[in-house]
A and B are shown apart, each in its own frame.
Chain A
């Protein structure tokens, strides 16, 4: 019973969330040519989370509606970030700053909903910090097909996404429909992040750490996506194991541990970029 209803869903949720957040992060980084982009940082997770809570408020017993709402929220957040950052000049840093603002907006929405309607998120901390301890089999059943389809479509799209590394004009020159490719990559990233949010809440930094680790090797996007799936799922399970056992008998939400790991990692990337720019 413990294995079936507690351990197994938790491990499966770790596998699926880790893989989908990592793949989502890699797609965003490639589509936006920005190694600081990730679903947590540019507000996609927060958008998905806010709409998930709205769906729980409207129809509490429907995990399918949660996924649709999460995807809608992730898409709206990504669209808002791209539109506003385009108006603000469209540089790599305006995308991140816009993402931070959009993320704050949706996080405020999440806090408002959980304050006025606490029944939408009985374990508010697990949802906003991110955790996989309370995942049910029905949530997994609803999210699994979308994550599988999202990763398969990402692999199919991989070579096109790789062409974005050439810059828009050169990619156009070799025969890529640049706008469609970029939009498809961002939509897939939103879908994967949304599915992950319905399982693990607002886990941050997985989608930043894993793609950046993998992008240190000179590889095409296809093998990088495969590595993201493998490393992302293993990483989240290991982090969850650590969060469960480090302060036994107390248990940390895995999102908290990831924030401790991810925030310094983000700062290291920032410093490395500055050093590279000076070379």
Chain B
């Protein structure tokens, strides 16, 4: 479990987060909020990339105090911005095994199996030998996701994994995330896309100005439209058709 108590974090001269208490345990948990609300900073704080004050424990360990490899065995991270390095999808996915390798840096049978499994889960097995530069934006996102999956960490921290994807690719991403959840991973994702968050999440934490203003299942949050409107600066109305793609809400600016 990820436990935060009286955590504040930010950058020099610019405090961003202030969270009195937050426990993140299992399932797909979305940190939703506007751009600049503190979603990415919260992910980076949990990872140890942004220094914090207060108590932050992942499975009772402070990630910022862990050795790099031990931390990577616990927390996998997909940044918001991904470069297009000159490598194949398989090479990229193999880098997810770095923290599991010994000094000789040779891939064991277990490493190869984990990479193949990650490529399959991300739907990239058939594109495994293609160079990233030759892939579409959606395929590249899935290639990066394969690297994160290959890391085989219990907690996956994904920063805007669906950004820039069309609806079909967002649905595919949702299916991949649900498969990972069913395999026992806890998935923490930052997203400013409310419909997508409602469609795939088990729990949504709504962040505004660095603090959590609403927290619950999508069904819980739909009963608090005033908080959603406050957090997202949107007017919300219930969807007429509960079987629509986004069954809970439609948002109208």
Contact = CB atoms under 8 A, between A and B. Distances in A.
Given A173-B47, A173-B76, A165 B83 contact: yes
Interface in A24-50: none
B246 interface: no
A224 to B, nearest CB: 10
B77 interface: yes
B96 interface: yes
B12 interface: no
Interface in A145-162: 159, 162
B151 interface: yes
Contacts of A172: 47, 49, 68, 77
A169 B83 contact: no
A169 B86 contact: no
Contacts of A215: 86
Among A165, A169, A173, A220: residue with most chain B CB under 10 A: A173
B85 interface: yes
Contacts of B147: 166, 170, 174
Nearest to B94: A220
A249 interface: no
Contacts of B85: 165-166
Given A162-B95, A166-B85, A218-B87, A175 B77 contact: no
Contacts of A167: 79, 81-83
User: For this complex, into which size category does the number of interface residues on chain A fall?
Assistant: 10 to 19
Nearest to B75: A173
Contacts, number: 68
The CB with the most chain B CB atoms within 10 A, among A170, A177, A218, is that of: A170
Interface in A165-217: 165-167, 169-170, 172-177, 215
A176 B98 CA distance: 8
B69 interface: yes
A163 interface: yes
A173 B72 contact: yes
Interface residues of B, number: 33
Given A169-B49, A218-B88, A175 B99 contact: yes
Contact of A159 (B86, B105, B157): B105
Contacts of A218: 86-88, 91, 131
Given A165-B83, A169-B79, A215-B86, A174 B49 contact: no
A167 B99 CA distance: 17
Given A159-B98, A173-B78, A176-B98, A166 B72 contact: no
29 contacts: A159-B105, A163-B95, A165-B83, A165-B85, A165-B87, A166-B92, A166-B147, A167-B81, A167-B82, A169-B77, A170-B77, A170-B78, A172-B47, A172-B68, A173-B77, A173-B78, A173-B148, A173-B157, A174-B72, A174-B95, A174-B96, A175-B68, A175-B71, A175-B72, A175-B73, A175-B98, A175-B99, A215-B86, A218-B86
Given A167-B82, A173-B47, A176-B98, 7 more contacts: A165-B87, A167-B79, A167-B83, A173-B151, A174-B98, A177-B68, A218-B88
Interface of A: 159, 162-163, 165-167, 169-170, 172-177, 215, 218, 220
